[in-house]
Structure 1
């Protein structure tokens, strides 16, 4: 198995840090975006081991070292170019400049550097590493969640620019794996999925022609699934009660740090003093987080309790604190030699004691916070109804009766004791599953009920403008998406005939029977719903996935096909590539400290199913196993991937012994998604989410702005562009709502010598 973090780390070590190998002093300089790529796989202490003495941020005030070698890893943008040209040749001994993707001509023209600086540039190349490895099997293209506003909108230009950028970044993922021949699958009605596949395949083929690298040729061709977020909004709207999902949905996390999401908490030290601490969730060195993040919260709490008890019984420092043998009350007859021996053992285990103590404190406080929010917001009341609506069945297994259930829904939506955002999510869920868009959803949705949304909606009286905007915004999102699906059906209707309804119903019934064989033996009442992705992956692995429902396109077909203007991005200028090579404390009250959590967790009632997974259940492989020995699947969501889908991919990968890498344009959090939906009805919010703090070359043109600003009965004047802040701290991750509108022409992949020549040509008359 090839882990994404290992892959990115290896590429950085081999292609970047070897440039300064042997240097007495070397400095790594990153910008607000690329710092996330590096920090996702390296700690500062680890960078020292590969020859990096210091890490600096391009936007921040820095101390220059004239005797040091500098390595720049940069996002190719006009703003970066302007910052780079302020660098003096006296700042460092030599310069190695690497861009994470291709350097556009419009950006290249901004590099008006003095000749003395050019003479010190030893390396200038494109790295093609433009994605972030969030977990070993999870990636993100780090687009703003609000890019949905550009993709699903009436304006074509903004959509084309966004899809083009997504294709550019997705290509770097496949290129990093060494995949050249790829099998693509997509829902037959998905217009954007097909277009993204064609754009990605063409770019991948072109990249291998001009920047060849060692290819990985697995016995089974890797498969890339390209799916759209609107085809399954249930997985985003539903309250998920696994540990990771609850943390991002209920806990007050700080997601602005480049190191990952952080959580502030209090704990007691070894002598009982209260201290404040903070922890990083996505910490690869935290085995408890890696083990519990995809578990139901009840199971995660049990796991924490078990580890706490085991640690207290094995760690000498913990044992010493519990026994309090160091206190003056110890009997005079006690053997002092034994006491000294115990103290020595405790001292040796003290570093581990402190490190694990803070880790347990982090998770204990996180779980406590999640459970407090769960109780305060009375989420059980909401979640029971959500599960019934999403699955179409009650806890007892009976089919939901629509007329009788209207009363239940109406009373919940009118209950002001429940938080408005939770009631809105319930209303959107019913609205989504009861709408005319049902026929375009992923075919693995389990609910077949259709409620009278007009009757139910009257019971919900939003008292904030944001809530009203969300309710109206979901219709716009689905209408824009629907128009794209109808466009695709119009293109394919003349060459294909749809299946009869009897055949479709039979296939769905057969898929349901196959799926039931692989349901885990124990399912919690509030976790009965599984994302459609689970059934899709199971059918594909078993070879039962319909080619009519999910057509297959290989790389050769995609790269050699020409779609008309309504299906693809606008034509791009061809460019000749010249290069053939490329570049709290644990004390006697341990039981009391976790007792409340455990008691609360056990109140979740499980529902039993008869048959567990049968195929390769529980199989494990060595971490260093090569990619070519296992089947590889990449799942990509246009519009963002939810944490429930990440969990599903993790489960199926473990059960079926396949490598499933999952990601999207972003990692989608429910609160962010609601804000995005509200922005369809709020021009100011839309512009703020999309363009606040963006880089200068990514400012949209006037046409794009008008397209993103959705149509109103009365046109409003669009807000002025915001200029990026001048100061950026080294902890800043860069504004999440970046927008990178591309010019119509692509630049060439350039050989370093050619790039140097172009540099010099810019300054020959200066």
Structure 2
């Protein structure tokens, strides 16, 4: 018997995995079928593993856009994106009745038009319930959420886009912040959310122009380096050859080695990898044959580590993880040498910080820049990165000088669009007359960034300054206005202008000092959420974890996409084509 359909909205919980597991458990009648679409499957795959799904009596997971075998004796759970293609496929299932019934869960709110399409169907009796979960995002990491919408960069900055038109820089940023505040207020009212017994969170809404250095610079922490040089798929899939076969490995928090090493500098990564492996060998000597000398004595190099791993057949899973990261670290260092990144990164850091490694002011970067631009062994992408950094650091370059540099580098005309389109992010391309003015932020950077541990990692992402200044109550209302005046008085009650905070720029990097209890020790202050429109970098992701650990705060980053330098330059090229 057909009944009137009612939409329900489920409160968002911090435990994202719990929401999806609850969805699977909501249908308790024996074995079930899980139906997804190409977008929603990414959402659920990022939060739960296949064994989590099968544990909830899911006998098969299928794609709604493809042909499927009917299972008329089993209930189906539909986890779908609220888009026309998925709804149309759902209507076809309703008509064909290929399952005993459908329990429908949408990742976000259905439009009124799509809901009406379902509710007025003559086959609506097939549907047992419709629930909107508001989980249309990817839980990329424990502190990172992404919408995986790389196209948003184009919509936000391109003058040809009909999405934001001329809404760029501060105007678009302010409108975006207002929109987010309005949606949060509406959702809170709709879900009847009760105030939490804790200080309110604060969300900063910034865009990619907030820090253009970060997506261009070479970053030498393990995760960032692997994504830049090895080009991982979706930031977490590593492919390797095993004879004639290709093996794909997922890098996530189930891999303790990856989770422990991803934010360490590559030099520390290799050292920690060897130390962890030798510790493992030492703790398992009883299980290792004494005749295997290398296994019994540990390893001093990655090559010795490989030999030892091959002598430990009884530890297959751990052997595979150590072998994987040994191979990835070796590949990263091989690419570092092949691409001449020691020379390139040194100049990059000079231009980004305005200081040389010994603390002297950079006066004539062209002398070091020109030979690399003329070097045929330096890739076009790396040359573009150098030119972008040079232009930003000099606050524009004379048009003739810029053309000469492009000619020296032999940058193809189409690729040069990545440089020309910097103007769409508010970057000055042409040098204006007069002496260069040093901003307050640059002065602060020069004063505080002279004690970093690695010469090729001197640049500090701007979000670190933002977080520190917020906690120290040093942000100016004109730069970071509240979207509601009432929030200013209530926000962050522990702030004090005279409050002393821990420096995040100590000589020894904070990720080397591990406090066993740090994960459980966070302050009772409100959460800090950074929303970055236009994409966030792996350096910024690392910075969030570093700040959360050092400052004992709950800090999260939400972004439209996670960027690599290659992806960022490709997006810059597409903003506007110069014929």
- TM bin, normalised by shorter chain, reads 0.7 to 0.9
CA contact (8 A) 1:5 1:41 kept: no
1:146 maps to 151
TM-superposed deviation, 1:524: 0.7
Alignment of 1:584-623 (within 5 A): 621=517
Distance 1:162 1:623 in 2: 40
Distance 1:669 1:193 in 2: 22
Alignment partner of 2:343: what SS? Answer: helix
Select 1:360's aligned residue among 322, 329, 333: 322
For 1:478, which of 412, 417, 423 is the aligned residue? 423
Q: CA deviation at 1:530?
A: 1.0
Q: Are the counterparts in 2 of residues 142 and 665 from structure 1 also a CA contact under 8 Å?
A: yes
Aligned partners of 1:377, 1:508: CA distance in 2, in Å? 30
Q: Does the CA contact (< 8 Å) of 1:89 and 1:120 recur in 2?
A: no
Aligned to 2:80: 74
- Residue 460 (structure 1) aligns with: 406
Task: Show the counterpart of 1:414.
Answer: 374
- SS in structure 1 of the partner of residue 105 of structure 2: strand
Q: Which residue of 2 aligns with 1:677?
A: 572
CA contact (8 A) 1:313 1:319 kept: no
Match of 1:191 among 143, 154, 171: 171
For 1:93, what is the secondary structure of its paired residue? strand
For the residues of structure 2 that align with 1:252 and 1:156, how far apart are their CA atoms?
A: 28
TM-score (norm 2): 0.82
TM-score, structure 1 as length reference: 0.63
* Alpha-carbon distance in 2 for matches of 1:506, 1:373: 37
- What is the match of residue 261 of structure 2? 292
Would the alpha carbon gap of residues 624 and 27 (structure 1) be closer, same or farther in structure 2, given more than 3 Å must change?
farther
- Indicate the residue corresponding to 2:531 in structure 1: 636
1:235 to 214, 217, 242: 214
2:446 is aligned with 1:537: no
Match of 2:384 in 1: 424
The question of whether the paired residues in 1 share the 8 Å contact of 2:33 and 2:77 is answered with yes
Post-superposition Cα deviations, 1:127-169, rounded to whole Å, max 9, x if no partner, equal 11111110000110121x2321211122573227999xxxxxx
1:645-664 equivalences under 5 Å are 645-664=540-559
C-alpha contact 2:537 2:562 (8 A) present in aligned 1? yes
The size of the alignment, in residue pairs, is 525
Question: What's the secondary structure of 1:300's corresponding residue?
Answer: helix
1:332-481 paired onto structure 2 within 5 Å: 353-401=315-363, 404-435=364-395, 452=398, 454-455=400-401, 457-461=403-407, 467-479=412-424, 481=426
Shift of 1:641: 0.3
CA 1:375–1:209 in structure 2 vs 1: closer, same or farther (change >3 Å)? Answer: same
**Match of 1:668?**
563
User: What SS class does the counterpart of residue 202 from structure 1 fall into?
Assistant: helix
Secondary structure of the equivalent of 2:240?
strand
Shift of 1:75: 0.6
Distance of 2:409 and 2:39 partners within structure 1: 38
Decide whether aligned partners of structure 1 residues 286 and 506 sit closer, same or farther in structure 2, where only a CA change above 3 A counts.
closer
Go from structure 1 to structure 2 and tell me whether the alpha carbon gap of 1:53 and 1:322 turns closer, same or farther (over 3 Å shift).
Answer: farther
Does the 8 Å CA contact 1:154/1:480 hold for their aligned counterparts? no
Unaligned runs of 5+ in 1: 164-188, 268-272, 326-348, 437-450, 484-500, 559-608, 683-711, 714-766
CA drift at 1:197:
1.3
Tell me the SS of whatever aligns to 1:107: helix
Paired residues of 1:78 and 1:110 also in contact (CA < 8 A) = no
Aligned to 1:123: 129
Q: Deviation at 1:275?
A: 8.1
- For 1:128 and 1:388, locate their aligned partners in 2 and report how far apart those are by CA, in whole Å: 44
1:677-701 C-alpha deviation (Å, 9 max, x unpaired): 222354xxxxxxxxxxxxxxxxxxx
Contact kept? 2:104, 2:127, Cα under 8 Å: yes
1:261 aligns with 2:268: no
Shift of the 505–230 alpha-carbon distance from structure 1 to 2, 3 Å rule, reads closer
The residue correspondences of 1:4-403 to structure 2 (distance < 5 A) are 7-14=15-22, 16-21=23-28, 23-87=29-93, 88=95, 90-111=97-118, 115=122, 117-143=123-149, 145-155=150-160, 157-159=162-164, 190-218=170-198, 220-255=199-234, 261-265=236-240, 277-281=247-251, 283-315=252-284, 319-320=288-289, 323=292, 353-401=315-363
Which structure has the larger Rg? Answer: 1
Distance 1:71 1:300 in 2: 43
Find the aligned partners of 1:38 and 1:377 in 2 and give their Cα distance.
Answer: 38
Change (3 A) 1:318 1:400: farther
Q: How does 1:487-566 map to 2 (within 5 A)?
A: 509=443, 515=448, 523-554=453-484
Q: C-alpha distance in 2, partners of 1:397/1:620?
A: 35
CA RMSD of aligned residues (A): 3.5
- d(CA) in 1 for partners of 2:313 and 2:120? 54
In structure 2, distance between residues paired with 1:10 and 1:28:
17
CA deviation map 1:607-636 (0-9, x unaligned): xx876699xx866657577x8834311111
